[in-house]
Amino acid sequence: MLGLRGPAFTFRHDPFLGDADEALVHWPDALVVMRDGVITGFGDHAAERPRHPDRLEVHHYPEGLIGPGFVDAHVHYPQMEMTGAFGETLLDWLQRYTYPTEARFADAAHAARIAALFLRALLRAGTTTAAVYGTVHEHSADALFAGAEGLGMRLIAGKVLMDRHAPDALLDGEDHGIPATRRLIARWHGRGRLLYAITPRFAPACTDEALQAAGRLWCDHPGTYVQTHLCETEAEIAWVRELFPAAASYLDVYVRAGLVGPRAVMGHAVHVTEGDIAGLRESGCGVAHCPSSNLFLGSGLFRLHDLAEAGVRVALGSDVGAGTSLSTLRTLGDGYKMARLRGARLHPAQAFWLATRGGAAALRLEDRIGSLEPGMEADLVVLDPRATPELALRTEGGAELADRLFALMTLGDERAVRATYVGGRLVHDREKAPA
Ligand code: GUN
Ligand code: ZN
Protein backbone atom coordinates (compact mmCIF):
# COMPACT_ATOMS: atom_id res chain seq x y z
CA MET A 1 0.00 0.00 0.00
CA LEU A 2 1.27 3.42 -0.92
CA GLY A 3 -0.01 6.81 0.21
CA LEU A 4 0.52 10.24 -1.30
CA ARG A 5 0.27 13.10 1.13
CA GLY A 6 0.09 16.79 0.32
CA PRO A 7 -2.20 19.55 -0.92
CA ALA A 8 -4.68 18.26 -3.52
CA PHE A 9 -7.50 19.47 -5.73
CA THR A 10 -10.77 17.86 -6.77
CA PHE A 11 -13.98 19.06 -8.42
CA ARG A 12 -17.47 19.60 -7.02
CA HIS A 13 -19.10 19.78 -10.44
CA ASP A 14 -18.46 20.43 -14.14
CA PRO A 15 -17.18 24.04 -14.24
CA PHE A 16 -18.62 24.56 -17.73
CA LEU A 17 -22.14 23.64 -16.60
CA GLY A 18 -22.02 24.99 -13.04
CA ASP A 19 -20.30 28.00 -11.42
CA ALA A 20 -16.59 27.75 -12.27
CA ASP A 21 -15.55 29.64 -9.12
CA GLU A 22 -17.35 27.08 -6.97
CA ALA A 23 -16.18 24.01 -8.85
CA LEU A 24 -12.75 23.48 -7.28
CA VAL A 25 -12.19 21.86 -3.91
CA HIS A 26 -8.89 22.58 -2.18
CA TRP A 27 -7.50 19.98 0.24
CA PRO A 28 -4.63 21.65 2.14
CA ASP A 29 -3.32 18.33 3.47
CA ALA A 30 -4.80 15.30 1.74
CA LEU A 31 -3.94 11.62 1.73
CA VAL A 32 -4.46 9.38 -1.32
CA VAL A 33 -4.16 5.68 -0.50
CA MET A 34 -3.43 3.31 -3.38
CA ARG A 35 -3.43 -0.44 -3.52
CA ASP A 36 -3.25 -2.87 -6.46
CA GLY A 37 -3.37 -0.01 -8.92
CA VAL A 38 -6.53 1.55 -7.51
CA ILE A 39 -7.29 4.44 -5.15
CA THR A 40 -8.64 2.84 -1.98
CA GLY A 41 -8.86 5.94 0.19
CA PHE A 42 -8.94 9.69 -0.26
CA GLY A 43 -9.55 12.47 2.21
CA ASP A 44 -8.09 14.92 4.64
CA HIS A 45 -4.87 13.40 6.00
CA ALA A 46 -5.86 13.74 9.65
CA ALA A 47 -9.09 11.85 9.05
CA GLU A 48 -7.82 9.36 6.47
CA ARG A 49 -4.50 8.25 8.00
CA PRO A 50 -6.01 6.40 11.01
CA ARG A 51 -8.16 4.33 8.63
CA HIS A 52 -5.01 2.71 7.23
CA PRO A 53 -3.08 1.75 10.36
CA ASP A 54 -0.60 -0.72 9.00
CA ARG A 55 2.26 -0.75 6.55
CA LEU A 56 1.40 2.39 4.65
CA GLU A 57 4.44 3.82 2.88
CA VAL A 58 3.79 7.53 2.44
CA HIS A 59 5.34 9.86 -0.14
CA HIS A 60 4.92 13.35 1.25
CA TYR A 61 4.78 16.41 -1.02
CA PRO A 62 4.07 19.28 1.37
CA GLU A 63 4.89 21.87 -1.31
CA GLY A 64 3.16 19.99 -4.12
CA LEU A 65 -0.34 19.88 -5.54
CA ILE A 66 -1.81 16.43 -6.14
CA GLY A 67 -4.34 15.92 -8.91
CA PRO A 68 -5.56 13.28 -11.32
CA GLY A 69 -3.06 12.42 -14.08
CA PHE A 70 -3.59 14.39 -17.27
CA VAL A 71 -5.48 13.07 -20.28
CA ASP A 72 -4.16 13.97 -23.75
CA ALA A 73 -7.05 13.05 -26.02
CA HIS A 74 -5.37 13.69 -29.39
CA VAL A 75 -1.71 13.20 -30.20
CA HIS A 76 0.44 11.71 -32.97
CA TYR A 77 3.46 9.92 -31.54
CA PRO A 78 5.28 9.57 -34.90
CA GLN A 79 5.29 13.35 -35.27
CA MET A 80 7.34 13.99 -32.14
CA GLU A 81 10.52 14.44 -34.17
CA MET A 82 9.00 17.03 -36.53
CA THR A 83 7.35 19.22 -33.92
CA GLY A 84 7.74 22.86 -34.84
CA ALA A 85 7.97 22.52 -38.64
CA PHE A 86 8.05 25.97 -40.20
CA GLY A 87 5.53 27.92 -42.07
CA GLU A 88 2.66 25.86 -43.52
CA THR A 89 -1.05 25.46 -43.08
CA LEU A 90 -2.54 22.02 -42.51
CA LEU A 91 -2.73 20.49 -45.98
CA ASP A 92 0.74 21.66 -47.08
CA TRP A 93 2.20 20.81 -43.67
CA LEU A 94 0.96 17.23 -44.07
CA GLN A 95 2.54 16.82 -47.51
CA ARG A 96 5.76 18.65 -46.82
CA TYR A 97 6.67 17.49 -43.32
CA THR A 98 4.26 14.96 -41.85
CA TYR A 99 4.06 12.28 -44.51
CA PRO A 100 7.84 12.06 -45.08
CA THR A 101 8.36 11.77 -41.31
CA GLU A 102 5.67 9.10 -40.94
CA ALA A 103 7.21 7.15 -43.87
CA ARG A 104 10.28 6.51 -41.70
CA PHE A 105 8.10 4.29 -39.53
CA ALA A 106 8.36 1.56 -42.14
CA ASP A 107 11.37 0.67 -39.99
CA ALA A 108 10.03 -1.16 -36.92
CA ALA A 109 13.14 -0.35 -34.88
CA HIS A 110 12.57 3.36 -35.50
CA ALA A 111 8.96 3.02 -34.36
CA ALA A 112 10.03 1.26 -31.16
CA ARG A 113 12.61 3.93 -30.40
CA ILE A 114 10.23 6.85 -30.88
CA ALA A 115 7.42 5.06 -29.01
CA ALA A 116 9.66 4.67 -25.96
CA LEU A 117 10.75 8.31 -26.12
CA PHE A 118 7.17 9.45 -26.53
CA LEU A 119 5.80 7.49 -23.57
CA ARG A 120 8.58 8.77 -21.32
CA ALA A 121 7.83 12.30 -22.48
CA LEU A 122 4.14 11.87 -21.63
CA LEU A 123 5.00 10.81 -18.09
CA ARG A 124 7.39 13.76 -17.70
CA ALA A 125 4.48 15.98 -18.68
CA GLY A 126 2.18 14.37 -16.09
CA THR A 127 0.06 12.71 -18.77
CA THR A 128 -1.11 9.27 -17.73
CA THR A 129 -3.66 8.52 -20.47
CA ALA A 130 -3.56 9.48 -24.13
CA ALA A 131 -5.46 8.74 -27.32
CA VAL A 132 -2.67 8.29 -29.83
CA TYR A 133 -2.33 8.01 -33.60
CA GLY A 134 0.32 5.69 -35.01
CA THR A 135 1.27 5.66 -38.68
CA VAL A 136 -0.24 3.49 -41.38
CA HIS A 137 2.20 0.73 -40.42
CA GLU A 138 0.77 -2.06 -38.29
CA HIS A 139 3.93 -2.30 -36.21
CA SER A 140 3.69 1.39 -35.28
CA ALA A 141 0.72 0.50 -33.08
CA ASP A 142 2.40 -2.65 -31.77
CA ALA A 143 5.42 -0.63 -30.66
CA LEU A 144 3.33 1.87 -28.76
CA PHE A 145 1.07 -0.68 -27.10
CA ALA A 146 4.04 -2.80 -26.04
CA GLY A 147 5.70 0.23 -24.47
CA ALA A 148 2.53 1.33 -22.68
CA GLU A 149 1.94 -2.18 -21.39
CA GLY A 150 5.41 -2.18 -19.89
CA LEU A 151 4.58 1.04 -18.03
CA GLY A 152 1.08 -0.08 -17.01
CA MET A 153 -0.53 2.92 -18.73
CA ARG A 154 -4.14 3.20 -19.79
CA LEU A 155 -3.69 4.07 -23.42
CA ILE A 156 -5.94 4.30 -26.46
CA ALA A 157 -4.21 4.00 -29.82
CA GLY A 158 -4.48 2.76 -33.35
CA LYS A 159 -2.81 2.33 -36.69
CA VAL A 160 -3.82 5.10 -39.08
CA LEU A 161 -6.10 4.17 -41.98
CA MET A 162 -5.46 6.11 -45.19
CA ASP A 163 -5.83 5.05 -48.80
CA ARG A 164 -5.52 8.19 -50.91
CA HIS A 165 -3.94 11.62 -51.31
CA ALA A 166 -0.63 10.73 -49.71
CA PRO A 167 2.61 9.13 -50.93
CA ASP A 168 2.13 5.49 -52.02
CA ALA A 169 4.37 4.21 -49.25
CA LEU A 170 1.83 5.47 -46.71
CA LEU A 171 -1.32 4.07 -48.28
CA ASP A 172 -3.28 1.03 -47.21
CA GLY A 173 -3.92 -1.40 -50.05
CA GLU A 174 -7.20 -2.58 -51.46
CA ASP A 175 -8.12 -4.10 -48.10
CA HIS A 176 -8.25 -0.55 -46.65
CA GLY A 177 -6.09 -1.62 -43.69
CA ILE A 178 -8.99 -3.55 -42.19
CA PRO A 179 -7.26 -6.95 -41.70
CA ALA A 180 -4.29 -5.23 -40.01
CA THR A 181 -6.67 -3.34 -37.74
CA ARG A 182 -8.51 -6.57 -36.92
CA ARG A 183 -5.24 -8.21 -35.93
CA LEU A 184 -4.29 -5.25 -33.75
CA ILE A 185 -7.68 -5.30 -32.01
CA ALA A 186 -7.24 -9.01 -31.33
CA ARG A 187 -3.74 -8.48 -29.97
CA TRP A 188 -4.24 -5.38 -27.87
CA HIS A 189 -7.82 -4.24 -27.21
CA GLY A 190 -8.77 -4.92 -23.60
CA ARG A 191 -5.35 -6.35 -22.79
CA GLY A 192 -4.51 -4.92 -19.37
CA ARG A 193 -5.30 -1.22 -19.59
CA LEU A 194 -4.98 -0.89 -23.36
CA LEU A 195 -7.81 0.06 -25.70
CA TYR A 196 -7.91 0.12 -29.48
CA ALA A 197 -9.00 3.07 -31.61
CA ILE A 198 -9.97 2.51 -35.24
CA THR A 199 -8.16 5.49 -36.78
CA PRO A 200 -9.23 6.74 -40.21
CA ARG A 201 -6.82 9.68 -40.61
CA PHE A 202 -9.40 12.16 -41.90
CA ALA A 203 -11.97 12.15 -44.67
CA PRO A 204 -9.68 13.53 -47.41
CA ALA A 205 -7.16 10.70 -46.89
CA CYS A 206 -9.82 7.97 -46.94
CA THR A 207 -12.04 6.77 -49.75
CA ASP A 208 -15.68 6.40 -48.89
CA GLU A 209 -15.21 2.61 -49.15
CA ALA A 210 -12.46 2.79 -46.53
CA LEU A 211 -14.62 4.87 -44.19
CA GLN A 212 -17.56 2.49 -44.61
CA ALA A 213 -15.30 -0.50 -43.93
CA ALA A 214 -13.94 1.21 -40.82
CA GLY A 215 -17.50 1.86 -39.63
CA ARG A 216 -18.45 -1.81 -40.12
CA LEU A 217 -15.35 -2.86 -38.21
CA TRP A 218 -16.28 -0.57 -35.31
CA CYS A 219 -19.76 -2.06 -35.25
CA ASP A 220 -18.21 -5.55 -35.09
CA HIS A 221 -16.05 -4.62 -32.10
CA PRO A 222 -18.09 -2.94 -29.37
CA GLY A 223 -15.96 -1.21 -26.80
CA THR A 224 -13.31 -0.11 -29.29
CA TYR A 225 -12.83 3.56 -30.17
CA VAL A 226 -12.82 5.68 -33.30
CA GLN A 227 -10.52 8.67 -33.63
CA THR A 228 -10.23 11.04 -36.54
CA HIS A 229 -10.03 14.72 -37.51
CA LEU A 230 -13.01 16.98 -38.14
CA CYS A 231 -13.35 20.54 -39.45
CA GLU A 232 -9.82 21.63 -38.63
CA THR A 233 -9.32 24.22 -41.38
CA GLU A 234 -11.49 25.95 -43.94
CA ALA A 235 -9.45 24.65 -46.90
CA GLU A 236 -9.82 21.12 -45.59
CA ILE A 237 -13.60 21.54 -45.24
CA ALA A 238 -13.87 22.86 -48.81
CA TRP A 239 -11.92 19.81 -50.02
CA VAL A 240 -14.23 17.46 -48.12
CA ARG A 241 -17.21 19.16 -49.76
CA GLU A 242 -15.68 18.38 -53.19
CA LEU A 243 -14.74 14.83 -52.31
CA PHE A 244 -18.07 13.90 -50.69
CA PRO A 245 -20.72 15.90 -52.58
CA ALA A 246 -23.54 13.71 -51.28
CA ALA A 247 -22.80 14.42 -47.62
CA ALA A 248 -24.65 17.24 -45.89
CA SER A 249 -21.55 18.29 -43.94
CA TYR A 250 -18.07 17.13 -42.94
CA LEU A 251 -19.52 15.52 -39.82
CA ASP A 252 -22.14 13.84 -41.99
CA VAL A 253 -19.37 12.05 -43.95
CA TYR A 254 -18.48 10.24 -40.74
CA VAL A 255 -22.11 9.79 -39.65
CA ARG A 256 -22.92 8.06 -42.95
CA ALA A 257 -19.99 5.72 -42.44
CA GLY A 258 -21.15 4.80 -38.92
CA LEU A 259 -18.14 6.44 -37.30
CA VAL A 260 -19.89 8.80 -34.88
CA GLY A 261 -21.14 7.91 -31.40
CA PRO A 262 -19.94 7.25 -27.88
CA ARG A 263 -16.21 6.37 -27.90
CA ALA A 264 -15.61 8.29 -31.12
CA VAL A 265 -13.18 11.19 -30.61
CA MET A 266 -13.14 13.99 -33.16
CA GLY A 267 -9.96 16.06 -33.23
CA HIS A 268 -10.27 19.85 -33.59
CA ALA A 269 -13.88 20.65 -34.66
CA VAL A 270 -12.77 24.27 -35.06
CA HIS A 271 -15.11 25.39 -37.83
CA VAL A 272 -18.44 23.94 -36.77
CA THR A 273 -22.00 25.04 -37.35
CA GLU A 274 -24.83 25.05 -34.81
CA GLY A 275 -26.04 21.89 -36.53
CA ASP A 276 -22.64 20.25 -36.00
CA ILE A 277 -22.66 21.20 -32.32
CA ALA A 278 -26.10 19.64 -31.87
CA GLY A 279 -24.96 16.54 -33.77
CA LEU A 280 -21.82 16.18 -31.66
CA ARG A 281 -23.81 16.51 -28.45
CA GLU A 282 -26.59 14.16 -29.45
CA SER A 283 -24.23 11.50 -30.76
CA GLY A 284 -22.31 11.46 -27.48
CA CYS A 285 -18.93 11.51 -29.18
CA GLY A 286 -15.94 13.33 -27.74
CA VAL A 287 -14.19 16.36 -29.20
CA ALA A 288 -10.49 17.00 -28.62
CA HIS A 289 -9.67 20.70 -28.35
CA CYS A 290 -6.12 21.25 -29.61
CA PRO A 291 -5.29 24.93 -29.07
CA SER A 292 -1.52 24.69 -29.50
CA SER A 293 -1.96 23.04 -32.89
CA ASN A 294 -4.70 25.39 -34.05
CA LEU A 295 -2.55 28.40 -33.20
CA PHE A 296 0.63 26.91 -34.68
CA LEU A 297 -0.93 26.01 -38.04
CA GLY A 298 -3.22 29.05 -38.01
CA SER A 299 -6.24 26.75 -38.30
CA GLY A 300 -8.74 28.89 -36.40
CA LEU A 301 -10.24 29.56 -32.99
CA PHE A 302 -12.15 26.70 -31.37
CA ARG A 303 -15.52 27.65 -29.85
CA LEU A 304 -14.70 25.97 -26.54
CA HIS A 305 -17.37 27.55 -24.39
CA ASP A 306 -20.08 27.17 -27.04
CA LEU A 307 -19.42 23.44 -27.30
CA ALA A 308 -18.76 22.66 -23.65
CA GLU A 309 -21.73 24.71 -22.40
CA ALA A 310 -23.94 23.00 -24.97
CA GLY A 311 -23.04 19.67 -23.38
CA VAL A 312 -20.54 18.37 -25.95
CA ARG A 313 -17.94 16.17 -24.24
CA VAL A 314 -14.78 18.22 -24.78
CA ALA A 315 -11.28 17.01 -23.96
CA LEU A 316 -7.83 18.56 -24.41
CA GLY A 317 -5.33 17.37 -27.01
CA SER A 318 -1.72 18.37 -27.53
CA ASP A 319 -1.86 17.28 -31.19
CA VAL A 320 1.91 17.01 -31.32
CA GLY A 321 3.50 17.51 -33.86
CA ALA A 322 1.14 20.25 -35.11
CA GLY A 323 0.86 21.16 -31.46
CA THR A 324 4.27 22.22 -30.22
CA SER A 325 4.40 20.64 -26.77
CA LEU A 326 3.37 17.45 -24.99
CA SER A 327 3.00 19.53 -21.83
CA THR A 328 -0.64 19.72 -20.82
CA LEU A 329 0.18 22.82 -18.77
CA ARG A 330 1.51 24.60 -21.86
CA THR A 331 -1.42 23.43 -23.95
CA LEU A 332 -3.80 24.87 -21.35
CA GLY A 333 -1.87 28.14 -21.48
CA ASP A 334 -2.48 28.19 -25.23
CA GLY A 335 -6.13 27.36 -24.58
CA TYR A 336 -6.42 30.41 -22.37
CA LYS A 337 -4.93 32.67 -25.03
CA MET A 338 -7.18 31.22 -27.70
CA ALA A 339 -10.23 31.80 -25.52
CA ARG A 340 -9.13 35.43 -25.11
CA LEU A 341 -9.05 35.80 -28.89
CA ARG A 342 -12.69 34.73 -28.84
CA GLY A 343 -13.41 37.23 -26.07
CA ALA A 344 -13.87 34.43 -23.53
CA ARG A 345 -11.99 33.37 -20.40
CA LEU A 346 -10.74 29.86 -19.73
CA HIS A 347 -11.15 29.65 -15.98
CA PRO A 348 -8.47 27.48 -14.34
CA ALA A 349 -11.18 25.16 -13.02
CA GLN A 350 -12.41 24.69 -16.60
CA ALA A 351 -8.88 24.22 -17.87
CA PHE A 352 -7.93 21.52 -15.39
CA TRP A 353 -11.34 19.89 -15.83
CA LEU A 354 -10.66 19.54 -19.57
CA ALA A 355 -7.28 18.00 -18.81
CA THR A 356 -8.58 15.50 -16.25
CA ARG A 357 -12.20 14.63 -15.49
CA GLY A 358 -13.67 16.21 -18.65
CA GLY A 359 -11.10 14.45 -20.81
CA ALA A 360 -11.93 11.17 -19.13
CA ALA A 361 -15.64 11.75 -19.83
CA ALA A 362 -14.96 12.55 -23.49
CA LEU A 363 -13.17 9.20 -23.67
CA ARG A 364 -15.97 7.48 -21.75
CA LEU A 365 -13.51 6.54 -19.02
CA GLU A 366 -14.86 8.75 -16.24
CA ASP A 367 -15.66 5.72 -14.11
CA ARG A 368 -11.98 4.69 -14.18
CA ILE A 369 -9.72 7.72 -14.48
CA GLY A 370 -9.77 11.49 -14.09
CA SER A 371 -10.77 11.78 -10.42
CA LEU A 372 -9.22 11.35 -6.99
CA GLU A 373 -11.84 9.00 -5.61
CA PRO A 374 -11.82 5.53 -4.10
CA GLY A 375 -12.36 2.97 -6.84
CA MET A 376 -10.62 5.04 -9.50
CA GLU A 377 -7.43 3.80 -11.11
CA ALA A 378 -4.44 5.30 -9.30
CA ASP A 379 -3.07 7.63 -12.00
CA LEU A 380 -1.90 10.88 -10.44
CA VAL A 381 0.26 13.89 -11.01
CA VAL A 382 2.03 15.93 -8.36
CA LEU A 383 2.47 19.49 -9.57
CA ASP A 384 4.97 21.96 -8.17
CA PRO A 385 3.68 25.54 -7.97
CA ARG A 386 7.22 26.71 -7.14
CA ALA A 387 9.04 24.82 -9.86
CA THR A 388 10.79 27.83 -11.38
CA PRO A 389 11.79 31.22 -9.96
CA GLU A 390 9.00 32.82 -12.00
CA LEU A 391 6.39 30.42 -10.66
CA ALA A 392 7.70 30.78 -7.11
CA LEU A 393 7.47 34.56 -7.37
CA ARG A 394 3.99 34.35 -8.81
CA THR A 395 2.65 31.97 -6.12
CA GLU A 396 4.54 33.21 -3.05
CA GLY A 397 2.49 34.19 -0.05
CA GLY A 398 0.10 31.27 -0.54
CA ALA A 399 -2.02 32.12 -3.56
CA GLU A 400 -5.56 30.75 -3.73
CA LEU A 401 -5.93 27.35 -5.37
CA ALA A 402 -7.46 28.73 -8.58
CA ASP A 403 -4.69 31.30 -8.84
CA ARG A 404 -2.02 28.65 -8.29
CA LEU A 405 -3.55 26.49 -11.01
CA PHE A 406 -3.72 29.48 -13.31
CA ALA A 407 -0.05 30.27 -12.65
CA LEU A 408 0.82 26.64 -13.42
CA MET A 409 -0.99 26.67 -16.76
CA THR A 410 0.43 30.05 -17.70
CA LEU A 411 4.05 29.65 -16.57
CA GLY A 412 4.40 25.91 -16.13
CA ASP A 413 5.67 23.06 -18.28
CA GLU A 414 7.38 19.71 -17.59
CA ARG A 415 9.52 21.39 -14.92
CA ALA A 416 6.37 21.89 -12.86
CA VAL A 417 5.60 18.17 -12.82
CA ARG A 418 7.20 16.93 -9.61
CA ALA A 419 6.07 13.30 -9.96
CA THR A 420 3.76 11.05 -11.96
CA TYR A 421 2.10 7.88 -10.71
CA VAL A 422 0.56 5.25 -12.98
CA GLY A 423 -1.47 2.40 -11.55
CA GLY A 424 -0.25 3.35 -8.08
CA ARG A 425 3.43 3.22 -9.08
CA LEU A 426 5.87 6.11 -9.21
CA VAL A 427 6.86 6.25 -12.90
CA HIS A 428 8.38 9.72 -13.08
CA ASP A 429 10.24 11.56 -10.34
CA ARG A 430 11.62 14.91 -11.46
CA GLU A 431 14.34 14.79 -8.82
CA LYS A 432 15.60 11.43 -10.04
CA ALA A 433 14.83 11.45 -13.73
CA PRO A 434 17.72 11.67 -16.14
CA ALA A 435 17.85 15.05 -17.88
N1 GUN B 1 -5.45 15.97 -40.37
C2 GUN B 1 -5.08 14.81 -40.94
N3 GUN B 1 -3.93 14.36 -40.43
C4 GUN B 1 -3.54 15.25 -39.52
C5 GUN B 1 -2.40 15.34 -38.66
O6 GUN B 1 -1.52 14.49 -38.65
N7 GUN B 1 -2.35 16.43 -37.86
C8 GUN B 1 -3.31 17.37 -37.84
N9 GUN B 1 -3.21 18.40 -37.01
N10 GUN B 1 -4.39 17.32 -38.64
C11 GUN B 1 -4.48 16.27 -39.48
ZN1 ZN C 1 -4.15 15.42 -35.18
The half-sphere exposure of 120 on its side-chain side, counting CA atoms within 13 A, is 10
250 phi, psi to nearest 5 deg: -60, -50
In the reported structure, the alpha carbon of residue 92 is separated from the centroid of ligand 2 by a whole-number distance in angstroms of 14
Using CA atoms, how far apart are residues 240 and 398, in angstroms rounded to an integer?
Answer: 52
User: Does position 342 have pLDDT exceeding 80, yes or no?
Assistant: yes
Helix or strand holding residue 429 (H, E): strand 425-429
pLDDT digits (tens, 9 = 90+) for 174-218: 999 999 999 999 999 999 999 999 999 999 999 999 999 999 999
Atom of ligand 1 nearest to the CA of 133: 6
| From 83, 97, 98, mutation site for ligand 1 pocket: most ligand atoms within 8 A of C-beta | 98
Contact 136, 160 (CB under 8 A): yes
CATH code 3.20.20.140 region(s) in the chain: 70-326
For 311, counting Cβ atoms within 10 Å of its Cβ (0-12 exposed, 13-18 middle, 19+ buried), the class is middle
CATH of domain 2-68+371-429: 2.30.40.10
Residue from 342, 272, 267, 352 nearest 305 by CA:
342
pLDDT tier, 434 (very low <50, low <70, confident <90, very high otherwise) = low
Using CA atoms, how far apart are residues 275 and 203, in angstroms rounded to an integer?
Answer: 19
Average confidence (pLDDT) over 121-150: 98
pLDDT digits (tens, 9 = 90+) for 10-22: 999 999 999 999 9
Candidate CATH numbers 1.10.40.30, 3.40.640.10, 1.10.357.10, 3.20.20.140; the one for domain 70-326: 3.20.20.140
Atom of ligand 1 nearest to the CA of 204: 2
ipTM of the complex: 0.99
* Nearest ligand for residue 89 CA: 1
pLDDT at residue number 62 = 98
Residue from 344, 179, 231 nearest 240 by CA:
231
Within 6 A (CB) of ligand 1 lie 76, 90, 94, 98, 201-202, 229, 232, 293, 319, 322
CB proximity list for 408: less than 8 A, separation 6 or greater: 65, 329, 383, 385, 391, 416
In the reported structure, the alpha carbon of residue 318 is separated from the centroid of ligand 2 by a whole-number distance in angstroms of 9
CATH code 2.30.40.10 region(s) in the chain: 2-68+371-429
Atom of ligand 1 nearest to the CA of 299: 9
Average confidence (pLDDT) over 321-343: 98
Predicted model pTM = 0.98
pLDDT at residue number 55 = 84
